Amino acid sequence: MSALGVTVALLVWAAFLLLVSMWRQVHSSWNLPPGPFPLPIIGNLFQLELKNIPKSFTRLAQRFGPVFTLYVGSQRMVVMHGYKAV
């Protein structure tokens, strides 16, 4: 097999794994509160201001409600923001 064939096969395999990962995340979260759609492997890290996490949670709570789902890496978290949610 040529180098180009191996490269194409690896790209197809990586795309397949990415699609399976996304499908599993979507279908495993049907009973969870709403939240932003996570990216594979890194989750919602790019949607958080790491220097000001409370501000990020406030912004997400305004969009998704006081209880929302968030992924940090591949770890799923349910966040309750505000006194009424707790």
Give residue 21's pLDDT: 79
DSSP 64: H
**pTM value?**
0.65
Q: Residue 43 to residues 28, 29, 58, 68: CA-CA distances in angstroms?
A: 15, 14, 18, 14
Give the model confidence (pLDDT) of 27-79 as tens digits. 665 788 999 988 888 889 988 998 999 999 999 999 999 999 999 888 889 99
Distance from the Cα of residue 58 to its chain's centroid: 18
56 phi, psi to nearest 5 deg? -65, -45
User: Span 4-16, mean pLDDT?
Assistant: 89
Q: Which amino acid is at 55?
A: K
Number of helical (H) and strand (E) elements in the chain, helices listed first: 2, 2
